[in-house]
Amino acid sequence: MKELSIEILEASEVSRRGLWSELQSFAQCDPARHYFILLGLLNPEKTFRSVITARDDRGNLLATFLQRSSGNAQLMMSQKLMDGSSPQESLQSFAEAVRRIGFNQLIAAMSYCEAIAPFDLFVSHTVGAEISVMSAETAASKELQKEIICDLEPLMTSDLDEIIALYQRCFHSFTPRPVMEEKLLSGRGHGVVVRKNGQIAACAQSEFETSQHALIVGVATTPELRGRGMASACVAGLVKQLAVPGRDFALQYDNPCAGRIYKRLGFIPVDHVGHYNFRKEQ
């Protein structure tokens, strides 16, 4: 592969050139690894400060570094760079551009970060959430149907007050209500809930659905009712509802107990989220 063409762009320049839609399409190719980037791209100028793009000699986008307004950063790479066919040196100019901009912490798929690690950008790192994918074949299986042991109802925008209250008991942070509401109204994602005594006891949602992929997010159960299979039923039921030929499903999790459930349902680990600290030049 010839040397990549590198550009460093301020967010305002990305907007002026109409490139956010290209970055969103690039992110949609692998939503399992790009979930939080896709969320940021819903309001890109407020989320991101600057962007580095790397293109081949035909102008195809192969890698993107996104510096957030917070000073942290995110990273996307094409599988063409990850399949081992490209020499490591092809990423040197991209890595040097990243070094020039800098960051507090790079939070991205570890497979991406390790591709540029040889260029001495990082001083340390920690391993975060596991990234797992369920194949379209597993999603269509009869075995998954057996997990749906509860009556499920569709998640409606009128349920969001209850969902927020449930998430406040289960998560340190979660997607803001306006984003969830817009997602449901636009059809970008869906959700299912289990009710006990008229109250929402468990739920699962989807995000960034395309014909090939869908993300499973926001899986939660009321703490007092855990261990009864309700979350598993929500995930299995939502997957079954959305399953079409060729569509896989992905999620991220950092709870080992949840991980065991997802693996039983048929999600296969493919990567981890890494948190990489920048090596600042002395």
* Residue range 26-43, pLDDT digits in tens: 999 999 999 999 999 999
| pLDDT tens, per residue, the chain with 282 residues | 577 999 999 999 999 999 999 999 999 999 999 999 999 999 999 999 999 999 999 999 999 999 999 999 999 999 888 876 666 778 999 999 999 999 999 999 999 999 999 999 999 999 999 999 999 999 999 999 999 999 999 999 999 999 999 999 999 999 999 999 999 999 999 999 999 999 999 999 999 999 999 999 999 999 999 999 999 999 999 999 999 999 999 999 999 989 999 999 999 999 999 999 999 875
In the listed set 86, 120, 154, which residue is the last one of a domain according to the structure? 120
Q: What is the CATH number of the domain that holds 75?
A: 3.40.630
Is 174 part of any domain? yes
Say if residue 71 is in the same domain as residue 153.
Answer: no
Count of domains observed in the chain? 2
Query: CA-CA distances (angstroms) from residue 241 to 82, 133, 181, 231, 251?
Result: 33, 17, 20, 15, 16
Residues 113 and 276: beta-carbon distance below 8 Å: yes
Is 165 part of any domain? yes
Residues 130 and 262: beta-carbon distance below 8 Å: no
Parent domain of 33: 5-120
How far apart CA 75 and CA 30 sit, in angstroms, is 12
Is 277 part of any domain? no
Is 126 part of any domain? no
Say if residue 112 is in the same domain as residue 168.
Answer: no
* Residue range 202-256, pLDDT digits in tens: 999 999 999 999 999 999 999 999 999 999 999 999 999 999 999 999 999 999 9
- Does the pTM exceed 0.75? yes
Q: Report the SS3 class of residue 153.
A: strand
Say if residue 176 is in the same domain as residue 62.
Answer: no
Say if residue 150 is in the same domain as residue 99.
Answer: no
Say if residue 216 is in the same domain as residue 161.
Answer: yes
Is 220 part of any domain? yes
Q: What is the CATH number of the domain that holds 219?
A: 3.40.630.30
